Amino acid sequence: MAGNVTISIDVMGGDAGPSVVIPGLDIALVRHPDVNCLLFGDGQQVEPILARYPRVKAASAFRHCDISVKMDDKPSQALKHGRRRSSMWRAIEAVKDGEADVCVSAGNTGALMAMARFCLRTMANIERPAIAGIWPTLKGESVVLDMGATIGPDVQQLIDFAMMGGAMARALFDIERPTVGLLNIGVEEVKGLENVRAAGRVLRETDLPMLNYCGFVEGDDIGKGVADVVVTEGFSGNIALKTAEGTAKQFATLLRQAMGRTLMARIGYLFARQAFETLKEKMDPRRANGGVFLGLNGIVIKSHGGTDAEGFAAAVDLGYDMVRNDLLAKIAQDLSHYHRARFLPDANPSGAAAK
């Protein structure tokens, strides 16, 4: 894609709203000076903060909105009362209308998904969208999906997730044929839910040219980087994400306590300070902040609601990369190839567990 990238921002989204979003944009604009922004929010709250960040103000057009979607609003309520007038809806609508290339919001996940799906609609042959996140691994990074959008997907939906995740890995990691694994309770083909086993059979037997199916992967394989793309359903994917984030925070806290416990530990920390700083950077959840809504006719990025400015900047970075690497075109190409070949699963998409 040539030219500037235009990003629409729901400035009111997240726990702190404009006090985090605008400083985050300022950080992102240093890294991406070719970005233009459309800012949607409450003028009384946004404009005083915006005045303190001249770089953001110069690169942005601001549009006042009367309504902000609250973090605890139910998706149905947000969709009913927030359509047309809320900062979240109008930021998404800017993508639909071609004014923006990508939307970024730290707001209510359920409301954002409901509005994005209603406004942008799903791509051809996609029944349910997925949230894909970037997972740091021992080998670099992997794409993991779904992180909470679809609970209990059928066989075809799991295959669609594999297609979309593979396209995202190609766009983000520049891998021609990324490896794709299905998250399961074991690597043996007889284990797991029937829909997961059936999806595995289809992916294994079709041998698609755009991805390399490597079989089932277990929870501890995600961090090892066994696969470039790990496919699961939203319930287990969200639990895995929250568990990993909690474990990282727990480890950091325990390490900090251990380093300050004795004089020798403090001295040892001084000698190994650079190594600890490198470890801290690699484990920083802000670096992987941002989930991509895949399967829609437009790119929407969900930032963690409780992140800080650096974390929000990472979500903007992700949206920028997805636009620059033509994510939607790659997804459409892979899905078209798959459905043209009519590789349809010959299996009962039941969720019953194998005996």
130 bridge partner residues: 294
Instruction: State whether 190 and 271 are in the same domain.
Output: yes
Residue for token pair 């605008």? 22
Instruction: State whether 173 and 274 are in the same domain.
Output: yes
**What pLDDT, on the 0 to 100 scale, is given for residue 343?**
46
**What pLDDT, on the 0 to 100 scale, is given for residue 316?**
96
Domain residue limits at 167: 126-288+326-355
- Per the prediction, the chain carries an average pLDDT of 87
Burial class (CB in 10 A: 0-12, 13-18, 19+), 337: middle
Residues 323-333 have pLDDT tens digits of 998 999 888 88
Instruction: State whether 197 and 330 are in the same domain.
Output: yes
Is 140 a domain residue? yes
Residue 48: is its pLDDT beyond 70? yes
Residues 205-239 have pLDDT tens digits of 887 888 899 999 998 899 899 999 999 998 888 88
Instruction: State whether 70 and 130 are in the same domain.
Output: no
Residue where a domain stops, chosen among 80, 103, 120: 120
Is 318 a domain residue? no
Token pair recorded at residue 52: 């303190």
Residue 355: is its pLDDT beyond 50? no
Instruction: State whether 111 and 135 are in the same domain.
Output: no
Residue 107's CATH number = 3.40.718.10
Helix (H, G, I), strand (E, B) or coil at 11: coil
Percent of the chain with pLDDT over 70: 90
Instruction: State whether 263 and 355 are in the same domain.
Output: yes
Instruction: State whether 269 and 212 are in the same domain.
Output: yes
Q: If you count them, how many residues does the chain have?
A: 355
Residue scoring higher pLDDT (339 or 316): 316
Is 306 a domain residue? no
Is 309 a domain residue? no
Please state the rounded mean pLDDT for residues 98-117: 94
Please state the rounded mean pLDDT for residues 298-320: 94
Out of 39-53, 189-203, 208-222, the most confident range is 39-53
Contacts of 275 (CB under 8 A, 6+ apart): none
Is 132 a domain residue? yes
**What pLDDT, on the 0 to 100 scale, is given for residue 251?**
76
Angstrom distance (rounded) from CA 41 to CA 66:
8
Q: Domain tally for the chain?
A: 2
**What pLDDT, on the 0 to 100 scale, is given for residue 282?**
64
Residue where a domain stops, chosen among 120, 149, 174: 120
Single pTM value for the model? 0.86
Contacts of 333 (CB under 8 A, 6+ apart): 167, 210
CB 34 within 8 A of CB 10: no
Is 183 a domain residue? yes
Instruction: State whether 151 and 41 are in the same domain.
Output: no
229 bridge partner residues: 143, 180
Residue where a domain stops, chosen among 94, 120, 146: 120
**What pLDDT, on the 0 to 100 scale, is given for residue 341?**
62
Instruction: State whether 277 and 159 are in the same domain.
Output: yes
Is 302 a domain residue? no
**What pLDDT, on the 0 to 100 scale, is given for residue 189?**
81
Is 93 a domain residue? yes
Residues 252-305 have pLDDT tens digits of 788 778 777 787 777 776 777 676 666 666 666 677 788 999 999 999 999 999
Instruction: State whether 211 and 261 are in the same domain.
Output: yes
Instruction: State whether 116 and 135 are in the same domain.
Output: no
Confidence label for 353 from pLDDT (cuts 50, 70 and 90): very low
Residues 7-34 have pLDDT tens digits of 999 999 999 999 999 999 999 999 999 9
- Kindly list the strands in the beta sheet with 130-137, ordered across the sheet, starting from the edge strand earlier in the chain: 60-64, 35-41, 5-10, 102-105, 299-302, 291-294, 130-137, 140-145, 229-231, 179-183, 212-217
Instruction: State whether 269 and 157 are in the same domain.
Output: yes
